[in-house]
């Protein structure tokens, strides 16, 4: 069975109009920096989903996957992608970026990248005035906040060889993201992240048993009134003989009608808390997909948020739901294909 029939082939149009096709094999062979063999299938799945959602072009290295040792994988966007998208903004009128240095007499001055003998690099800056702004926007970043170091406490190779270019890139990406959040929200360059950068999307251990969760996360197949509840991982039963399995927790008691009604829940705050609990990039993608799914079927979004907030591992449940949705779409496509007369 081909990767397309397995639901592992992703095809979409990038922001520059090119048709992009990704598969786990393509990602692992050509788009992973570091240890290719250490990247899990779940990490590749997230990477492919982000590329499709953002319209990233693999041929331009807009986005790539990094894996170091046993650390979780990191999804990183190139600074060239930031620059190209910013230039296409109708209100963009250019920008300035560079470094901040301390001179011998203790004064701070700007530089486009030149560091003279006796001067000390202390940070980077970004400045721009979009169309319609009456005052320029300026942002400064501190060098010691972002400089990556080895376990021995020394700067890593690139930060040791070119700290001026690295800190200027950090300031530039942060400035562009602040001015145009609709374009760059949840997207970061490698230099902004900790060493090594990490987005924890490593799947947990395989579950031995499954139990349904009392939530409205469901896959609608066939009759819209039928819902298949998504299973989540249950604790592995004890291996010692003679000990019974852990019983299911009792259902919560029904609300007491005599008690006064509780204050109205701030669902915007609940959603913000969920996004903080998730990885910033993966959570945005999965929550947006789930919200779109609920809107199409008339399911209240507040009800979904309440269910998600009670889960111990909400991101894994959302990922399982999304994976089953993709598998269901693939099966429907296979059923529509004509049979091979041969």
Question: Do 163 and 55 reside in the same domain of the chain?
Answer: no
Whether the per-residue pLDDT at 145 is higher than 50: the answer is yes
Mean per-residue pLDDT of the chain: 75
Question: Do 54 and 199 reside in the same domain of the chain?
Answer: yes
Question: Do 228 and 316 reside in the same domain of the chain?
Answer: yes
Whether the per-residue pLDDT at 187 is higher than 70: the answer is yes
Least confident of 95-104, 105-114, 214-223, 329-338: 214-223
Question: Do 210 and 197 reside in the same domain of the chain?
Answer: no
Question: Which of the four pLDDT bands, split at 50, 70 and 90, describes residue 275?
Answer: low
Residue 101 lies in a domain: yes
Residue 249 lies in a domain: no
Whether the per-residue pLDDT at 166 is higher than 90: the answer is yes
Question: Which of the four pLDDT bands, split at 50, 70 and 90, describes residue 78?
Answer: confident
- State the pLDDT at residue 201: 47
Question: Do 84 and 224 reside in the same domain of the chain?
Answer: no
Whether the per-residue pLDDT at 52 is higher than 80: the answer is yes
- State the pLDDT at residue 341: 45
Question: Do 62 and 199 reside in the same domain of the chain?
Answer: yes
Residue 243 lies in a domain: no
Share of the chain above pLDDT 70, in %: 68
Question: Do 210 and 298 reside in the same domain of the chain?
Answer: yes
Question: Do 34 and 97 reside in the same domain of the chain?
Answer: no
Residue 120 lies in a domain: yes
Choose among 51, 46, 49, 45: nearest CA to 63: 51
Residue 38 lies in a domain: yes
Residue 332 lies in a domain: no
Distances (CA, A) of 274 to 240, 262, 269, 311: 37, 21, 9, 10
- State the pLDDT at residue 315: 73
Question: Do 18 and 104 reside in the same domain of the chain?
Answer: no
- State the pLDDT at residue 95: 96
- State the pLDDT at residue 109: 94
- State the pLDDT at residue 237: 57
Burial 248-266 (b: 16+ CB within 10 A, else e): eeeeeeeeeeeeeeeeeee
Whether the per-residue pLDDT at 144 is higher than 50: the answer is yes
Q: Between 268 and 130, whose confidence is greater?
A: 130
Q: Averaged over 69-95, what is the pLDDT? A: 85
Domain that holds residue 293: 204-237+266-323
Count of the separate structural domains present in the chain: 3
Residue 46 lies in a domain: yes
- pTM (two decimals): 0.50
- State the pLDDT at residue 340: 45
Q: Between 218 and 31, whose confidence is greater?
A: 31
Residue 30 lies in a domain: yes
Question: Do 215 and 225 reside in the same domain of the chain?
Answer: yes
β-sheet bridge partners, residue 228: 219
Question: Do 222 and 286 reside in the same domain of the chain?
Answer: yes
- Tens digits of residue pLDDT in 288-312: 788 888 888 887 878 778 777 777 7
- Tens digits of residue pLDDT in 168-186: 999 999 999 999 988 887 6
Half-sphere exposure of 69 (CA within 13 A, CB side): 5
Question: Do 209 and 319 reside in the same domain of the chain?
Answer: yes
């Amino acid at each position: 069975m081909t990767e397309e029939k397995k639901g592992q082939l992703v095809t979409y149009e990038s922001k520059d109009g090119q048709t992009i096709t990704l598969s786990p094999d393509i990602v692992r062979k050509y788009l992973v920096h570091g240890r290719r063999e250490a990247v899990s299938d779940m990490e590749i799945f997230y990477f492919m989903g982000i590329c499709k959602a953002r319209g990233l072009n693999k041929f331009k290295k807009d986005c790539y996957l990094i894996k170091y040792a046993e650390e979780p994988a990191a999804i990183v966007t190139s600074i060239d992608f930031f620059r190209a998208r910013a230039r296409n903004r109708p209100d963009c009128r250019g920008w300035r970026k560079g470094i901040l240095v301390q001179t011998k007499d203790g004064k701070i001055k700007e530089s486009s990248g030149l560091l003279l003998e006796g001067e000390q690099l202390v940070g980077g800056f970004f400045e721009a005035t979009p169309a319609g702004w009456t005052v320029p926007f300026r942002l400064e970043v501190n060098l010691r906040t972002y400089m990556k170091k080895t376990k021995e406490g020394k700067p890593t190779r690139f930060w040791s060889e070119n700290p001026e270019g690295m800190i200027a890139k950090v300031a530039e990406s942060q400035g562009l993201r602040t001015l145009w959040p609709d374009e760059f929200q949840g997207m970061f360059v490698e230099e902004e992240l900790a060493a090594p950068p990490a987005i924890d999307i490593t799947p947990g251990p395989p579950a031995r048993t499954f139990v349904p969760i009392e939530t409205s996360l469901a896959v609608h197949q066939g009759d819209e009134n039928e819902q298949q509840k998504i299973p989540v991982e249950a604790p592995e039963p004890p291996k010692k003989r003679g000990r019974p399995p852990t019983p299911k927790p009792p259902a919560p008691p029904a609300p007491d009608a005599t008690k006064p009604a509780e204050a109205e829940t701030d669902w915007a705050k609940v959603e913000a808390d969920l996004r903080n609990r998730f990885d910033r990039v993966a959570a945005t993608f999965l929550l947006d997909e789930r919200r779109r799914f609920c809107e199409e079927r008339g399911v209240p979004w507040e009800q979904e948020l309440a269910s998600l907030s009670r889960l111990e591992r909400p991101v894994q449940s959302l990922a399982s739901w999304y994976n089953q949705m993709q598998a269901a779409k693939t099966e429907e496509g296979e059923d529509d294909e004509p049979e091979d007369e041969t």
